[in-house]
């Protein structure tokens, strides 16, 4: 992804700066994720998914705190309680983690969402809602990658490494869901002020 590592660095620096003066619990958690770059929120989602043993797609308070700790987000118990209560809207003692992650994403304008979905649909050639190595053939050109050119990696290894960009560092499964793709780009989006620049970057990156 052109420019992503530079944006990631800028975003991490900005997030750290804002964190020092932020008191809203949801915004603080969002910023703590963004200090890890574009994949921060997605990575937290992966931790919660691993913890969801019964596939209920929900977490109780204990699981919620453990997930944050496992991800290295240090949070006071009072702050964690306030955060949890904000998401446990019906007072059931559990939160839906898909809703939680959607709330945590930095907001994207409609124009940005549209171009992200356009890129996802282009990549998801089979239309099954998941991007795999097979989907990337003919869409992403591995032959320009320096490690392919020097014979260090095969084409498949280049593709796999590319998909890993969108995966959590703790759980790389070589597939990217629509949610993971949006989570990743909402992170990238947070580092780019103007819609027009974000859209141009997406169109250039994916030849849209």
What pLDDT score was predicted for residue 171? 61
Residue 4 has pLDDT above 60, yes or no: no
Helix (H) or strand (E) holding 95: strand 94-96
What pLDDT score was predicted for residue 119? 92
Residues 75, 81, 83, 84: is their CA dihedral positive or negative? positive
**Residue 21 is encoded by which pair of tokens?**
């003066």
Task: Identify the band that residue 106 occupies on the pLDDT scale cut at 50, 70 and 90.
Answer: confident
% of the chain surpassing 70 pLDDT = 94
Three-state DSSP class for residue 114: helix
For the residues 196-201, what does the mean pLDDT come to?
Answer: 89
Give the whole-angstrom CA distance, residue 129 versus residue 139.
16
For the residues 145-149, what does the mean pLDDT come to?
Answer: 81
- For domain 4-104, the CATH superfamily is EF-hand (1.10.238.10)
What pLDDT score was predicted for residue 6? 67
Give the whole-angstrom CA distance, residue 132 versus residue 191.
26
**Residue 181 is encoded by which pair of tokens?**
């793709």
Residue 103 has pLDDT above 60, yes or no: yes
CATH 1.10.238.10 domain residues, the chain: 4-104, 110-206
What are 57-72's pLDDT values in tens digits? 888 898 888 888 988 8
CA distances from 194 to 45, 109, 159 (A): 27, 10, 30
Task: Identify the band that residue 3 occupies on the pLDDT scale cut at 50, 70 and 90.
Answer: very low
pTM of the model: 0.68
**Residue 99 is encoded by which pair of tokens?**
């809703």
Tell me the average pLDDT of the chain.
Answer: 83
What are 151-187's pLDDT values in tens digits? 888 888 888 887 877 765 556 677 888 888 888 888 7
The residue count of the chain comes to: 208
What pLDDT score was predicted for residue 2? 43
For the residues 136-159, what does the mean pLDDT come to?
Answer: 82
Residue of higher predicted confidence among 190 and 133: 133
What pLDDT score was predicted for residue 1? 45
CA distances from 149 to 1, 145, 153, 155, 205 (A): 18, 6, 8, 10, 20
For the residues 128-135, what does the mean pLDDT come to?
Answer: 89
110-206: what fold? Recoverin; domain 1 (1.10.238)
Residue 83 in contact with residue 65, Cβ under 8 Å?
A: no
């Amino acid at each position: 992804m052109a420019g992503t590592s530079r944006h990631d660095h800028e975003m991490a620096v900005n997030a750290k700066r804002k964190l020092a003066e932020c008191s809203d619990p949801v915004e603080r958690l969002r910023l703590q994720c963004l200090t890890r770059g574009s994949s921060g929120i997605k990575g937290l989602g992966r931790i919660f998914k691993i913890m969801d043993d019964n596939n209920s797609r929900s977490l109780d308070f204990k699981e919620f705190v453990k997930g944050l700790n496992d991800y290295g987000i240090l949070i006071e118990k009072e702050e964690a309680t306030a955060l949890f209560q904000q998401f446990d809207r019906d007072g059931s003692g559990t939160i839906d983690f898909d809703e939680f992650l959607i709330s945590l994403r930095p907001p994207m304008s409609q124009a940005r969402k549209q171009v992200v979905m356009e890129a996802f649909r282009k990549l998801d050639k089979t239309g099954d809602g998941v991007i795999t190595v097979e989907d990337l053939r003919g869409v992403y050109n591995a032959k320009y990658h320096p490690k392919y050119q020097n014979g260090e990696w095969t084409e498949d290894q280049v593709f796999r490494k590319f998909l890993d960009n969108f995966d959590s560092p703790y759980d790389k499964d070589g597939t990217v869901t629509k949610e993971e793709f949006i989570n990743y780009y909402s992170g990238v989006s947070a580092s780019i002020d103007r819609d027009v620049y974000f859209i141009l970057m997406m169109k250039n990156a994916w030849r849209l």
